[in-house]
Amino acid sequence: MPYGKPVNKILVAGTPIIDECVTEGTNVKPGLLVVKGTSDNQVVLAGAGALNVLGVVDVDSRYNMAEAFPDKHPVKVLKGPIVTVLTLAASQTIAKGRRMQAAANGQVQAFPATPAAGDIEKLVGYAEESVTTAAGETKPIMVRLVI
């Protein structure tokens, strides 16, 4: 049965491992990939091709989905064999089943068709739907995480 993309939720299917962390800075939002910040319990947005992605930030009912959390705000980072809604970077054409990696600002982008040595460590998941974004446009995309 195909997944239905939820509205105002990040978790689509599965039972996540939840890592309780705090934000470092003021640009972390739900649906974005994060990496370790200064301390083990702090998270910052993952950069393009990040090797050390911890997971995706879950929603907080006290905030709008598009709203960044304040500095040192407690967040739940979801990981494990789950399907989540991530943010697809601009200028991407993704077909269902395509391998995905971190893009700038915690977003996701297509994994290289011909990966270089060591690129497999950048893999974060597989697209669970086909989505295309134009220049300067981002969209939600369901991704099956492998982190």
pLDDT tens digit string along 79-105?
Answer: 999 999 999 999 999 999 999 999 999
Contacts of residue 132, Cβ cutoff 8 Å, sequence gap at least 6 = 92, 93, 94
pLDDT tens digit string along 26-64?
Answer: 999 999 999 999 999 999 999 999 999 999 999 999 999
φ, ψ of residue 63 in degrees (nearest 5) = -130, 150
- pTM value is 0.96
Alpha-carbon distance of 49 to 124, in angstroms, equals 10
The beta strands (E) that lie in the chain are given as 11-13, 17-23, 33-36, 42-45, 55-57, 74-79, 83-88, 93-94, 99-102, 108-110, 123-127, 131-132, 139-145
Structure confidence at residue 136 as a pLDDT band (50, 70, 90): very high
Among the listed ranges 2-11, 98-107, 117-126, which one has the minimum average pLDDT value? 2-11
Alpha-carbon distance of 56 to 70, in angstroms, equals 17
- According to the model, what pLDDT value does residue 117 have? 86
Strand pairing report for 42-45 and 17-23: parallel
- According to the model, what pLDDT value does residue 102 have? 98
